Structure 1
Amino acid sequence: MGSRSARSAANGEARPADAAAGAVMADAMAAGCPRLCRRLEGETARAVLANADTLLFDCDGVLWRGEAAVSGAAAALGKLAAAGKRLCYVTNNSGRTRAAYTEKLRRLGFPPAELRHIFSSAFCAARYLRQALPPGAAAYVLGSPALAAELEAVGIPHLGPGPAALPGPAPADWVQAPLDPAVRAVLVGFDEHFSYAKLCQALRYLLRGGPDCLLVGTNRDHRLPLEGGAGIPGTGCLVKAVETAAQREAFIVGKPNRFMFDCVAGEFRVDPARTIMVGDRLDTDILMGNDCGLTTLLTLTGVTTLDEARGHRDSGCPARHGLVPDYYVDSIADLLPALGE
């Protein structure tokens, strides 16, 4: 005699899990959404992971929160690395160098990572400008020392990081500050010293150079979430200020722009069909993954709730369907059973 579940299947009886999955699929199909936002577990998890060569991980809210690793995340990544998976880290944070990320991964117990596996928005911005600027051209930077360090690493001269003051009490004084003739790009990242003086200088470079002066932003994240539901303005607010003043749209190198994935693909021979994007934000991580043809996995340890993802799935609005992941887990640690814990 076979198991009851086998007999039920043979008799056409739906098991509870099958019925739930069928209801999810029916809801998604009714809404016209190509992705189901299903829990990744059991045989499905084993099959999805077996089919993947590369996993791209967002960091904050996925692997750690602040300075504390998400419970079980390091063990899960250790299992993935032992299984021969390529692990890459893709983050919109422009405030840390790649070396700082490799050190944090080590400190929190994650598998060792080489610099070439870290793709921050600071690194991707430097890579973009290295390709786009003529030799010897400089960038005016509204950003952190880490962003400046990534520019230095690829040989791009820069100026601007740190505090800046207006050169006088009147607007006529503000437009007299000297401009470096070598500047051919304005680069906007997270800048705790962002000020009206810097905004004035950025605008002056853009007006002087016209279309030949590039305007580049690291990301459009509108808010940086903090513990307890607090938040601070994100880089997107600073990018928008410069765009509004210049009446120009910046080229964004970070998620959800596919340029960040192109950087990964340029470093490694990555097959999108065998790549998983793991993240906690729908409008950056999941949207980029979907746009690039990756399998997308939402973790609920960060800023997104399951109700939000399901709301997009069931909305019937095609523009919102790009925000829907293929799968979700409560935590990366939920992958451990599928990895042979």
Structure 2
Amino acid sequence: MSLKRSLINIAKLPLKDVKEIFSSFDTVLTDCDGVIWSSADVIKGAKEALDLIRSKGKKLFYYSNNSTRSREMFKSSIMKFGFHCKNEDIISTTFLTAYYLKSINFNKKAYVIGSIGLCKELELVGIKHTSVGPDVLNIKESIYEYVDSFQPDPEIGAVVIGYDIHISLPKLIKASSYLNRPDVLFVATNTDQSYPLTRKDVVLPAVGSIVAAIQAVDNRKPFIIGKPETYALEWLRKEVHVEAKRTLMIGDRLNTDILFGTRCGFQTLLVLTGVTKLEDVEKLLKSKTKEDKDLIPDFYIESIGHLVNILNL
């Protein structure tokens, strides 16, 4: 079946086309928040849809840009929602970051701006790292006193950035100082700009804001692990032996999930239960730029739960 980027509602296609589409992929990657759950609520029919995908012999992976949890922590969360899950079913930016550093034989110490989940994954592959948590400036001392007292750790060979609720000026100083040395690697779990909130009058900055602050100082680009960058495809090819053109990416964000799928050569399915609305894609259809066209999914569906009726045909 020849597929083109346009607004195709997979639930409205003839049965023969649907069967052809679902026989054209062996592997499914699904985002989590906004796709199979929203905040603390499971999307109706999501569990049944994923069970049906597995029952048809497809490999299924949960792929999240969330950089606060290890795979073990992700598994606990996913299973609490009632979904079937094993550690090896999870592709997280924390896991991929550790995998990347191990794959390049990194044997120094990482300065981590992030959370415990990232540290746990680094520890699992034997990578030394700094501790996480608050690192604040004593209000009684001036910034210059702090700078004079800072003694850089000579063992640091990488600065690794994930989401950190304790981000502070001392952390930015340390990260920027280490990256002033050209031999120190710069790695970011992802560059998401903000996290979705139910409140529309508040913006919650994400990892991308931390990365941007450090980039502004050191004028260095990080190696970015998560969506929409394609490092996960390297892991999938090497460890799972997937074929890109026979892989489906399901997501709710155009600039992460769908763009990632497009860049990897995957088929893409947008669900409308998360960040992206149908009118967002309709606007892109009018654009003539490749950058905008790459954000357009192959298919869309109102909810992943609507796949149940399709897959039961």
> Could you say whether these structures have the same fold, taking a TM-score greater than 0.5 normalized by the shorter chain as the test?
yes
The question of whether the paired residues in 2 share the 8 Å contact of 1:57 and 1:89 is answered with yes
Alignment deviations for residues 230-263 of structure 1 (CA, whole Å, 9 cap, x no partner) = 5411110011011111111111100000002222
| 2:284 aligned to which of 312, 329, 336 | 312
The question of whether the paired residues in 1 share the 8 Å contact of 2:73 and 2:117 is answered with no
Please give the residue correspondences for 1:231-270 in structure 2 after superposition, counting only pairs within 5 Å. Answer: 231-270=203-242
1:124 aligns with 2:117: no
| 1:280 aligned to which of 209, 232, 252 | 252
Structure 1 length as normaliser, TM-score?
A: 0.86
Counterpart Cα distance in 2 of 1:125 and 1:332: 28
5+ residue gaps, structure 2: none
1:161 aligns with 2:124: no
Counterpart Cα distance in 2 of 1:121 and 1:142: 14
Match of 2:9 in 1: 39
Match of 1:225 in 2: 196
Counterpart Cα distance in 1 of 2:285 and 2:197: 27
Whose radius of gyration is greater, 1 or 2?
1
Which deviates more, 79-88 or 294-303?
79-88
Counterpart Cα distance in 1 of 2:33 and 2:264: 22
Counterpart Cα distance in 1 of 2:253 and 2:40: 19
| 2:116 aligned to which of 142, 145, 152 | 145
Name the SS of the counterpart of 1:89 in structure 2: strand
**Shift of residue 228, structure 1, vs aligned partner:** 4.0
Structure 2 length as normaliser, TM-score?
A: 0.93
The question of whether the paired residues in 2 share the 8 Å contact of 1:75 and 1:110 is answered with no
Counterpart Cα distance in 1 of 2:143 and 2:87: 46
Please give the residue correspondences for 1:188-207 in structure 2 after superposition, counting only pairs within 5 Å. Answer: 188-207=161-180
**Shift of residue 133, structure 1, vs aligned partner:** 4.7
| 2:81 aligned to which of 108, 125, 130 | 108
Letter in 2 for 1:280: D
**Shift of residue 121, structure 1, vs aligned partner:** 0.8
Counterpart Cα distance in 2 of 1:46 and 1:101: 32
Alignment deviations for residues 315-337 of structure 1 (CA, whole Å, 9 cap, x no partner) = 12222111010000010011111
Counterpart Cα distance in 2 of 1:86 and 1:303: 26
**Shift of residue 37, structure 1, vs aligned partner:** 2.6
| 2:27 aligned to which of 54, 57, 65 | 54
- Larger helix share, 1 or 2: 1
**Shift of residue 311, structure 1, vs aligned partner:** 1.3
Counterpart Cα distance in 2 of 1:219 and 1:34: 29
Which deviates more, 272-281 or 262-271?
262-271
Counterpart Cα distance in 1 of 2:34 and 2:268: 16
1:335 aligns with 2:307: yes
Aligned pair in 2 of structure 1 residues 175, 156: CA closer, same or farther (>3 Å)?
farther
Counterpart Cα distance in 2 of 1:193 and 1:170: 18
Name the SS of the counterpart of 2:149 in structure 1: coil
Flag as ranges the 4+ runs of structure 1 deviating above 6 A: none
5+ residue gaps, structure 1: 1-24, 26-32
Counterpart Cα distance in 2 of 1:202 and 1:233: 19
**Shift of residue 34, structure 1, vs aligned partner:** 4.7
**Shift of residue 172, structure 1, vs aligned partner:** 4.8
Please give the residue correspondences for 1:6-45 in structure 2 after superposition, counting only pairs within 5 Å. Answer: 34-41=4-11, 42=13, 43=15, 44-45=17-18
**Shift of residue 165, structure 1, vs aligned partner:** 2.4
| 1:322 aligned to which of 277, 282, 294 | 294
Which deviates more, 244-253 or 101-110?
101-110
Counterpart Cα distance in 2 of 1:122 and 1:322: 26
Letter in 1 for 2:161: V
Name the SS of the counterpart of 1:201 in structure 2: helix
Alignment deviations for residues 40-67 of structure 1 (CA, whole Å, 9 cap, x no partner) = 1242333212222110001100011122
Counterpart Cα distance in 2 of 1:141 and 1:202: 8
Tell me how many residue pairs correspond in the alignment: 306
Aligned pair in 2 of structure 1 residues 170, 336: CA closer, same or farther (>3 Å)?
closer
Aligned pair in 2 of structure 1 residues 240, 175: CA closer, same or farther (>3 Å)?
farther
Match of 1:289 in 2: 261
Match of 1:30 in 2: none
The question of whether the paired residues in 2 share the 8 Å contact of 1:312 and 1:324 is answered with yes
**CA RMSD after TM alignment:** 1.8
Which deviates more, 98-107 or 182-191?
98-107
